[in-house]
Chains A and B, each alone.
Chain A
Amino acid sequence: TQLLEQSPQFLSIQEGENLTVYCNSSSVFSSLQWYRQEPGEGPVLLVTVVTGGEVKKLKRLTFQFGDARKDSSLHITAAQPGDTGLYLCAGYYNNNDMRFGAGTRLTVKP
């Protein structure tokens, strides 16, 4: 079983729509990162959240870390085709271990 559960697994939407993807765990994380990966390339770091309840914004992307530091969400406003990709969350815990979720594969149709 995955330590980090991401949902939904797949998401296909039209350009201009809003969406939220989730990353949940039963474990407490020291920090949590979100990455975006395009086919044939390595994941690219989008954001790191550290403090429970923290909210970070990156243009049309809003990231939130749960108060208990066990979950996180990524909200995209007015999605564009360039947002298409695999979104991965990764949690760092016990100061010694980093685990990735299985990812949410997003397709934004023009």
Chain B
Amino acid sequence: KAGVTQTPRYLIKTRGQQVTLSCSPISGHRSVSWYQQTPGQGLQFLFEYFSETQRNKGNFPGRFSGRQFSNSRSEMNVSTLELGDSALYLCASSLDSRASGYNEQFFGPGTRLTVL
């Protein structure tokens, strides 16, 4: 079974630009979560999508947004980029397991975003 894929792997942008990152989950997984990882803050939760609906959201400004398509693929968008947005953006997919309280997430390799 293919793992989680993310594109692109590396991206360089300048301040003020916007960026779109893509994530394809493991086949059969309906939940996709996005995280930002920086050396100083560690892994910070951005949002989770399930069945094309945002189900959970972290504490990030509205410049960060996302969506999920009917095939469970997801995109996240960052508008008006700031230097502090430089980070590794990780996508994770999982089966919906809220009922069991058992949530195993499988991560993609990430997109390394550098904002100049």
Listed in ascending order, the chain A residues whose CB lies under 8 Å from chain B are 2, 30-31, 33, 35, 40-45, 48, 50, 88, 90, 92, 95-103
Contact = CB atoms under 8 A, between A and B. Distances in A.
Interface residues of B, number: 24
Contact of A44 (B98, B101, B107, B112): B107
Interface of B: 4, 6, 33, 35, 42-43, 45, 56, 88, 90, 92, 98-99, 101-110, 112
Given A99-B45, A100-B43, A42 B102 contact: no
B42 A100 contact: yes
13 contacts: A2-B42, A33-B105, A35-B107, A41-B109, A42-B92, A42-B107, A42-B108, A42-B109, A45-B104, A92-B101, A98-B33, A98-B103, A100-B45
A43 B101 CA distance: 21
A90 B42 CA distance: 12
A100 B45 CA distance: 9
A68 to B, nearest CB: 16
A31 B110 contact: no
Given A40-B112, A98-B45, A102-B42, A90 B102 contact: no
